[in-house]
Chain A
Amino acid sequence: MAEVYNWQLKRKMEFPYEESRPQRQIAYVFDTNKCIACQTCTVACKTTWTSGKGQENMFWNNVETKPYGGYPQQWDLNLLRQLNGQKWNKASETYEGKTIFEDVPEGETVNGWRPKERDYAYPNMGEDECAGIVEKGAFFTGIHSIWMFYLARICNHCTFPGCLAACPRKAIYKRPEDGIVLIDQSRCRGYRECVKACPYKKTFFNMVTRVSEKCIGCYPLVEKGEQPRCVQTCIGKIRMQGFISRHDQPRRDNPIDQIVRIKKLALPLYPQYGTEPNVYYVPPIHVPREFLYQLFGPGVDNAIETYRNIRDDKELLAAFLLFGNSPKIIHSYKTDGSYAIGYDEKGNVVTRVPFTEPIYVRPYYDDKVKSFRHNTP
């Protein structure tokens, strides 16, 4: 075991390989508050990559309803149960518990569990189920007495991937040019150690090719400067993909850095697992804090406070306005107070988004077509 630094845990941890960060790291920000679980991302991914024979039960992207939903079922609860002592020091925000590489059963490389085939059978079980029962006669008084939220999930392209650590054949690799984690389809022999090890259960076994597959970060798009399919197609504009700078070298003009590193508004999912995941979530603001601490770590209070006050922070707000407004990867941005302007890697403008959408008022009667305008319900 080597010793590596995990910035999300604010401490060193054990990992089977030496620390080797890519030249740049793919990263995503998902705003859970804006997701409506329309599953457009899921379908975009499914039709693009996993509609072949043997991929029937495979969803590289899925959206599940928390607290009860999960694909595969109980993907999170099963590991939480077997990973003991997940303790955070809230003052220093240091993780004092053990990661999946440190709390390892005898004879294993990673603390994992293998889903059963049935666990993949109901990809959206628990959809729209709330955390409690609505009392008879209850009505909304301004405070939500019960709650639920949608959690969109893809491969986290972790800096310290559990799948990669567990593969006895070294068939899984992390690309140095963008940090995307891939399974070599010609080298994998279908042992499913990665399926067992990935804490997010985002590697899948293909029973026709008899080898494992996973989200490829839409690398053909990323290579030509475009954001992945799940990001481009998101109708709620909840997603942005870019590259996150090293933890000690944040750039203010990188929208991902601005949100994740500088304002710390988006947080990794289950950072206590220790894989340094690279999908960052804006926590759902109406969900009980204890639940959120478990999901996103000790930064939740700050993230929600910042989110509630985002209108006062033009620099941060500008980064959010860029979501879903260009298929291109935005490497840098700036704002003049009226517009958020996004640039590609070469410095070309790829999007200009106004802070306030212009309002056009059209007369009730249209002289050109000699007809009244109606709002048709």
Chain B
Amino acid sequence: MPLAAAAVIFSGCQKAGPQFIENEVVSVAVKEIPFRDVNSQLWSSAPVTRVKMLPQNVIPPHNTHPSIDEVQVRSVHASGWIAFLLEWNDSTRNAIVDADRFVDQVAIQLPLDPKNPQNYMMGNKGGRVHIIHWKAIWQDDIELGYRDVQHAHPNYWVDMYHFHEQPLYAEGEFPQEPYTEQFKTPEELNYMPGLYARNPVSVLNRTEPVEEAMAEGFGTFTTHPKQNARGWGKWENGKWRVIIARPLISDDANDAPLADTTSIAFAVWNGEFQNVGARKHYAPWMNLIVK
């Protein structure tokens, strides 16, 4: 997009409030990507796409209690990166897991072959899609430290964990439960099977709250070996605002190409209503135009 045109949209938005569009996402050029600033003025230069979300009820398990009907999307690009700001209303901030506790999440999906659209439900066999997935718990892992047993249950107590040596504490000092990051030896990790198996869900030292994955249909979500995407999320006043960013041109063969026009699809989960996996809200493909 010529700089002058961007300036017109930019100044126009400031005066008239956000420009709302439907059925397509238009990414506009800005001077820099606000990777971690959901409140940046740079976002206001982009038109807002109101994406209607539908409860997933195509294949079991269904989302039987829809709770999010719209996600508002803006997109900007600069210096070889493209970023999306996804906003939706959610009165509850769900960012920790337990047997019955689930987290808020959002994801975007891009086709590997923009000319031959794949099934919008996570692609299809031979029709691969590229998914970038943000989770509230990963956001807190990075901002506050790995969300641990003691964060969900502050008063819990365990006498000992096998092969983990508790640091000595002075008399009268209340001993602290060890944090999971302190478990490092293979013997200690033996008792954390997901970590030992290097499950991409069980990552203690995550640096970005997003995960890139590929899929060719339901149940095939597979983490990319190389992670290029960035993200950031903030919950304020009953609203999530999440940034998902990725390189505009990537040398990673697993990343979807961002041609002039491609497609984009969305999914959002409300942890409060036990949304997880296929129990989600989705929006099918719409055009993504990078100007």
Contacts and interface: CB of A to CB of B under 8 A. Distances in A.
Contact of B201 (A54, A107, A189): A189
Given A107-B60, A108-B62, A117 B192 contact: no
A168 interface: yes
Contacts of B98: 117, 205, 207
Interface stretch (B41-49, B148-156, B226-234): B148-156
Interface string B268-290: 00000010111000000000000
B202 interface: yes
A189 B183 CA distance: 22
Interface string A173-195: 00000000000111111111101
A55 B60 CA distance: 29
Contact of B191 (A55, A187, A193, A204): A55
Nearest to B162: A51
Nearest to A49: B191
Contacts of A195: 99
Contacts of B183: 53
Nearest to A170: B219
A209 interface: yes
A209 B194 CA distance: 5
A106 interface: yes
B162 A188 contact: no
A166 B62 CA distance: 12
B202 A209 contact: yes
Nearest to A116: B100
B20 interface: no
Interface string B181-201: 001000010111111111101
Q: Which of A53, A55, A195 has the most CB of B within 10 A?
A: A53
A108 B274 CA distance: 14
Given A107-B62, A168-B61, A189-B277, A210 B218 contact: no
A210 B211 CA distance: 15
A59 to B, nearest CB: 13
Contacts of B101: 117
Interface string A94-123: 000000000000111100001111011000
Given A51-B162, A185-B197, A188-B194, A168 B218 contact: yes
A19 interface: no
Contacts of B57: 107
Given A188-B194, A205-B99, A211 B202 contact: yes
A208 B149 contact: yes
Interface of A: 47, 50-57, 106-109, 114-117, 119-120, 166, 168-170, 184-193, 195, 204-211, 213
Those 7 A-B pairs whose CB atoms lie nearest each other, nearest first = A52-B191, A209-B194, A107-B62, A191-B277, A185-B197, A209-B202, A186-B197
21 contacts: A52-B192, A53-B148, A53-B149, A53-B178, A54-B149, A109-B60, A109-B61, A169-B221, A185-B193, A185-B199, A186-B199, A187-B199, A188-B194, A189-B221, A190-B97, A192-B99, A192-B276, A193-B277, A208-B194, A209-B201, A210-B194
Interface of B: 57, 60-64, 97-101, 137, 148-149, 152, 156, 158, 161-162, 164, 178, 180, 183, 188, 190-199, 201-202, 218-219, 221, 274, 276-278
